[in-house]
C-alpha cells in the first residue's frame, strides 16, 4: 500500500483510512467463533457519527450490528473481543448469537470508546464485504411481450444451436424473472432492509426528475457477452435501450448506485453502472434459482461449465425481445418469488 495514497473505505457514509497489520489465520473449530483474520486497523479518530453518551461511570456508545456478524467481533474463543478491550481499555457487550440487538461499548474516557467504536466498525465492514448478497436493485423486464420474445429466442436457440458445446435448456433464465441488475446489497437483518427501503424512497424525486414523472418506453433488443472468448461464455445479456435514444435509464442506475454507495449499503465498482439483463447463465445449470452478483462478478470455473456462444451471437445478435413502458425500480429479494413469478419486493419506487 502506498503511504501517501492509503486505501480508503466507506462505512455508513463515513470515510476511513486503512492501515495494514499482520494477518492472522486460524482454523475454525466447531462451536468456536472465527478470529478477526484479515481485519485491518484504522486511525483512532473521534467517532462523531455516533452518539457517545456520558454516564455515571464514564462513557457509553451503542452500535447496531446484525447478529450474523457478532462472531467476528467475538473471535475464536473470544480472542478478538479481549484484544479490542485490552487495546482500547473499554468493555464490549455483545448480545447472544441469533438475538438482534446492539453492541454496547463502555469506557472511562470518551477517546477510548471512540477508538473501540471505530475499530469495531472497520472490523465489521471487512467481514460484511465477504457476506453473500441478499437483495439487489432491479428493473423488471418480465413484461408479457418481452417474455414471449424471450421464449421464442429460447426455442430457436435450442433448435438451431442446441448441439453447440454447453448449450441446453437449463442455462436459460426463468422468463418471469427477466430483469436488469443495477447493484447488489447484503442486508443482514430487518433493520437494514428497512433502511434500504427508506433510502430508495428518498431517491424518488431524483428519479422522477430524470423521467419527467413519466414511464420510460424501453426496447429489449440484441445480446452481448462480457468476456473475450465467445466460444467460452458463462453469461449472455440482453441489451435494453430507451426508445427516444436518451440515457435516462443509465442516469437512474448511476444515481441509485451513487446514493446507496454513499450510504455504505453498496460498493461502487465502476464510474458507470453496466446495465445488464441476463438471458443465459451457466450458474442455472446446477441451480435454477442462482443469481450472478453482476457484470463484474468473477465466475468460479469449478462451479460452472461454459458454453459456445459463437453461433448464437451470429444468428441472434440483434434479436428483438419486445418493448414496453418501464415504470419502477425495486429492491428485489434474492431466492424469492412473488405472486407474478418475479422476485419479492422489499421496496419500490415508480417513475410516475
- Under the banding of pLDDT at 50, 70 and 90, the label for residue 144 is very high
pTM of the complete model: 0.81
Rounded Cα–Cα distance for residues 323 and 174 (Å): 18
Share of residues in the chain with pLDDT > 70 (%): 82
Choose among 84, 105, 83: nearest CA to 94: 105
Residue 343's Cα: distance from chain center in Å?
15
- Under the banding of pLDDT at 50, 70 and 90, the label for residue 63 is very high
Q: Give the angle 249-254-256 at the CA atoms, nearest 5°.
A: 95
pLDDT digits (tens, 9 = 90+) for 192-237: 999 999 999 999 999 999 999 999 999 999 999 988 899 999 999 9
Rounded Cα–Cα distance for residues 110 and 254 (Å): 39
- Residues β-bridged to residue 164: none
151 within 8 A of 94, measured Cβ to Cβ = no
Average of per-residue pLDDT across 121-139? 93
- Under the banding of pLDDT at 50, 70 and 90, the label for residue 2 is low
Residue whose cell numbers read 441451480: 287
- Residues β-bridged to residue 219: 241, 323
Rounded Cα–Cα distance for residues 9 and 42 (Å): 10
Q: Give the angle 158-159-160 at the CA atoms, nearest 5°.
A: 95
Burial class (CB in 10 A: 0-12, 13-18, 19+), 250: middle
Average of per-residue pLDDT across 241-247? 96
Would you state the pLDDT for residue 10? 60
Would you state the pLDDT for residue 129? 87
Q: Is the pLDDT of residue 5 over 70?
A: no
Among 58-62, 124-128, 199-203, 259-263, name the one with the lowest average pLDDT.
124-128
Q: Is the pLDDT of residue 173 over 80?
A: yes
Amino acid at each position: 500500500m502506498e503511504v501517501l495514497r492509503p486505501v480508503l473505505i466507506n462505512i455508513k457514509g463515513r470515510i476511513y483510512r486503512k492501515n495494514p497489520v499482520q494477518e492472522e489465520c486460524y482454523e475454525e473449530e466447531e462451536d468456536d467463533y472465527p478470529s478477526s483474520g484479515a481485519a485491518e486497523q484504522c486511525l483512532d479518530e473521534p467517532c462523531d457519527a455516533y452518539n457517545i453518551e456520558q454516564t455515571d461511570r464514564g462513557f457509553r456508545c451503542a452500535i447496531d450490528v446484525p447478529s450474523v456478524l457478532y462472531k467476528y467481533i467475538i473471535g475464536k474463543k473470544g480472542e478478538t473481543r479481549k484484544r479490542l478491550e485490552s487495546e482500547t481499555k473499554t468493555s464490549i457487550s455483545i448480545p447472544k448469537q441469533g438475538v438482534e440487538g446492539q453492541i454496547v461499548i463502555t469506557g472511562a474516557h470518551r477517546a477510548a470508546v471512540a477508538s473501540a467504536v471505530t475499530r469495531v466498525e472497520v472490523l465489521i465492514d471487512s467481514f460484511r464485504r465477504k457476506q453473500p448478497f441478499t437483495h439487489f436493485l432491479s428493473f423488471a423486464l418480465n413484461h408479457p411481450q418481452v417474455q414471449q420474445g424471450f421464449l421464442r429466442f429460447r426455442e430457436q436457440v435450442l433448435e438451431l444451436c442446441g448441439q453447440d458445446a454447453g448449450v441446453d435448456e437449463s442455462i436459460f433464465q426463468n422468463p418471469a424473472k427477466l430483469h436488469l441488475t443495477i447493484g447488489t446489497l447484503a442486508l443482514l437483518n430487518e433493520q437494514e432492509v428497512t433502511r434500504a427501503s427508506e433510502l430508495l424512497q428518498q431517491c424518488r424525486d431524483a428519479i422522477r426528475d430524470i423521467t419527467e414523472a413519466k414511464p420510460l418506453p424501453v426496447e429489449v433488443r440484441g445480446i452481448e457477452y462480457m468476456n473475450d472468448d465467445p466460444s467460452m461464455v458463462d453469461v449472455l445479456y440482453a441489451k435494453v435501450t430507451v426508445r427516444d435514444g436518451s440515457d435516462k435509464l443509465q442516469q437512474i442506475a448511476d444515481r441509485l448506485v451513487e446514493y446507496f454507495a454513499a450510504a455504505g449499503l453498496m460498493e461502487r465498482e465502476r464510474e458507470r453502472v453496466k446495465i445488464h439483463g441476463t438471458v443465459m447463465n451457466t450458474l442455472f445449470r446446477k441451480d435454477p434459482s442462482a443469481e450472478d452478483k453482476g457484470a463484474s462478478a468473477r465466475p468460479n470455473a469449478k462451479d460452472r461449465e461454459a458454453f459456445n456462444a459463437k453461433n448464437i451471437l451470429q444468428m441472434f445478435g440483434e434479436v428483438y425481445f419486445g418493448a414496453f413502458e418501464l415504470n419502477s425500480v425495486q429492491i428485489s429479494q434474492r431466492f424469492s418469488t412473488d405472486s407474478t413469478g418475479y422476485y419479492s419486493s422489499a421496496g419500490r419506487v415508480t417513475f410516475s
